[in-house]
Structure formats: C-alpha cells, structure tokens
Chain A
C-alpha cells in the first residue's frame, strides 16, 4: 500500500509518554495539518517517521517498507525541522549541490529561482543568515527536493507576514503541479486552515482527531446570548467549552445546530482555531 502508515507507535522519554499507541495512515497526494499543543508529541512522531529516533514499540512504514535504517524508504521523505543538519560554514550554493547527492530529484535551478523570489543570496554561508532567512533556506530545500513525502515541522518559524504568504503560495503552486503528501505541523492554525485537506489533532501523545478539515468544522458551532438562555440551551447538549463575559455567555458545542434554537440565541460558525483550543484544552 502506498502512503505512510503508523501502527501502534509508542515512545517514552523516561517516565514521560511522548506517544501512546498512535495509529495513523497518511495517504498519497494530500496536505495534512498536524496540530497539537506544545509537548503533544508532534515532533516525536515526525522524528520516528524519518528514523531520527526509534519507537519503543510499533512500526512506521513508507509504501509498505519499514523506515528503520532503510535508505530506500527514507529517500522518499524529506523533513524540515527546527534543527539544522548542515555545516554552518557551508555556502548555500554548495549545500544545494550536496543535497542533490542525497536526493537525486533535487531541482537546483528551481532552488536558485526560489532564492531570487525570497531575496536570499546563495553565495552566503548559513551562519551569516538571520533566523528568518535560515527558515527560508530550509523551505527552499524542502520545496526543491521533489520527494513523495514532505514533512514540515513549524515551517514558517520566524518568517514575516510577506514571506509566509509567499511560501504558502509557492507550496500550493508546487502541490498543484506536482502533487505529493505534505504534513504541516504548526501553531499558526488560522493560516493553514484553508490549505490543509485533513486535520490530525494530537493531545498528550495520543491522536484524538483525524478527519477532513471541512467535516471537522461542520461538527462544531458556537451559541451566544444571555447566560441564562445559553445555560438552558446547553443543558443536554455536547458542550466542549464555555466563555463568559459579564452577563453574556458563549458556548462551544459539538454536533450540528438543531432547528429549534430560541431567537434570543445567536448561532455562529466555529473556526478551526477555536475548535482546536477547545478540543485540546
């Protein structure tokens, strides 16, 4: 079967359970959003997929083959992470050359074109780059490697609004022309909510939700109004959270709003960010 498959993946750090029996299938040519609060296990998950760390139990496969010490499987995956795995004194140009020997489909001409778009001088060394430009450098490699599976762990760290926008556009252009599987792990949920097709939400090492973004959003709604009215309404419903502001109350609910809602109450849509906060709280 093609795709990335995780079976019963478990990982402990001492007493801390970083991943607990995670089962997950990532299909081909889809963009996934991997969401979770700090310490939820997102990076651990991605590190196991790329064989940077080992799972205590369970298995990760790419197109049916294990990722553990398997160069063939690992060659299909590229992971952008916070850690920098390149020598700091190296020039960007040389790194491009070098990357090509690990990833034969790396498109150097395209990488150079992206450098121009992001105004990054490829003759610079890595250590002369600012945090933002270091991220841009990593993004350019990720966008140019041409592998079937791209894992992006916090891809827009330190980027200004203009560069984030530019990155999302280039990513979508690339994806439209040459589809691949992309996993974006991020805290900037709002920004990616339109881009991702499926949402994966993790909480304390467990996978708590995986479904189509649109479907997940249609599963929640917000009710606001006078506290007493809201309380009466939510009494026998699936509430995931409430906010109170003076005599006003806002309740976040799962399910679809039914038709017999009192006129004194206002129903509104629950966006991904709010839903995320309520689900992982």
Chain B
C-alpha cells in the first residue's frame, strides 16, 4: 500500500482504499486484526486524525469493525461486499475513461474489442 500526498485523492480515501485492496488481495484476512491507527499514522507519516477518518469509512460500511480494547478487525463477508462495491464502480472508474481515451486516439470499436480480448488472454 502506497500513499501519494500529491494525488487528487484525499489521503483518508487513499488509506481506506489501500486497506480495501489489502483485504481483497488476502493480505488482511477476514476476522484478522488490522494495524492500529498509530501504526498507520507512523508508517505513512500522516496525522492520526486522517488515518482514523479513513478507517472510519470502512467501519461505517461494515468492512472493518472495532473490538473495544483490542483493536480493529476485518469483518466476515468483507471480501464479498468489497467485490460487489468495486464491480459497481468498475464502469465509472475504468470503462468511461477507456472510451474517452480511445476516442481521442480514434480507435474503432473493433480495435478496442480486440485489445480487450488480448488483455484477457495475458
């Protein structure tokens, strides 16, 4: 997980997405503990309030839950929930920009399709 302080995306969103990525890739397993606010803050050199804001997004969406006095854990069913959410965003995040760039390059529909096929085979 890497943070880019100059990205257009706010740091707390990057933290939330970074944790989501780690859950999707299996680095943070369901029902396992994730690093504490202090660890995120120190590791990425960000204000603890920013780390907390990012993690709270995940708590609010039920991906992560807090155990009083113990720390934060990945909820069971988190992977499935995240996959569904990412699928819903796939069109907006990837297809729209793919089509926009393809138009700038005057790529035909057939060319785009063949490239997608090529990508799928790799």
Residues of A within 8 A of B (CB): 31, 165, 168-169, 172-173, 175-177, 190, 193-197, 214, 218, 268-269, 271
Return the contact of A194 from the options B3, B8, B37, B38 (Cβ within 8 A).
B3
Q: B residues within 8 A CB of A194? A: 3, 5, 11, 44-47, 50
A51: shortest Cβ distance to chain B, in Å?
A: 29
State whether the Cβ of B27 lies closer than 8 Å to any Cβ in chain A.
Answer: no
Once the chains bind, are A31 and B47 in contact (CB under 8 Å)? yes
Are A197 and B5 in contact (CB-based, < 8 A)? no
Contact with A along B1-38 (1 / 0, CB 8 A): 00101111011100000000000000000000000011
> What 5 A-B pairs have minimum CB-CB distances, sorted nearest first?
A176-B38, A269-B8, A194-B46, A176-B48, A271-B6
CB distance from B71 to the nearest CB of A (A): 13
| CB of B89, distance to nearest CB on chain A (Å) | 20
Tell whether, in the assembled complex, residue A176 and residue B42 are in contact, meaning their CB atoms are under 8 Å apart: yes
On whether the beta carbons of A195 and B45 are closer than 8 Å, the reply is yes
> From A214, which residue of chain B is reached at the shortest CB distance?
B10
Q: Which of A172, A176, A214, A269 contacts B45 (CB 8 A)?
A: A172
Which residues does B use to contact A, with CB under 8 Å? 3, 5-8, 10-12, 37-38, 41-50
Contact A269 B47 (CB under 8 A): no
Chain A nearest Cβ from B45, distance in angstroms: 5
Subset of 14 A-B contacts with CB under 8 Å: A169-B42, A169-B43, A172-B41, A172-B46, A175-B48, A177-B38, A194-B3, A194-B50, A195-B45, A195-B46, A196-B47, A197-B49, A214-B11, A269-B6
Enumerate chain B residues within 8 angstroms of A195, measured Cβ to Cβ: 45-47
- Give Cα distance in the complex from A214 to B11, angstroms: 9
* Complex Cα–Cα for A194 and B15 (A): 12
Query: Does B45 contact A169, Cβ atoms closer than 8 Å?
Result: yes
Identify 14 new A-B residue pairs, CB closer than 8 A, beyond the known A169-B42, A214-B12: A169-B45, A172-B42, A172-B45, A172-B47, A172-B48, A176-B41, A176-B42, A177-B38, A190-B5, A194-B3, A194-B5, A195-B47, A197-B50, A269-B6
Expressed in whole angstroms, the minimum distance between the Cβ of A30 and any Cβ of chain B is 8
Closest A residue to B11 by CB, please name it. A194
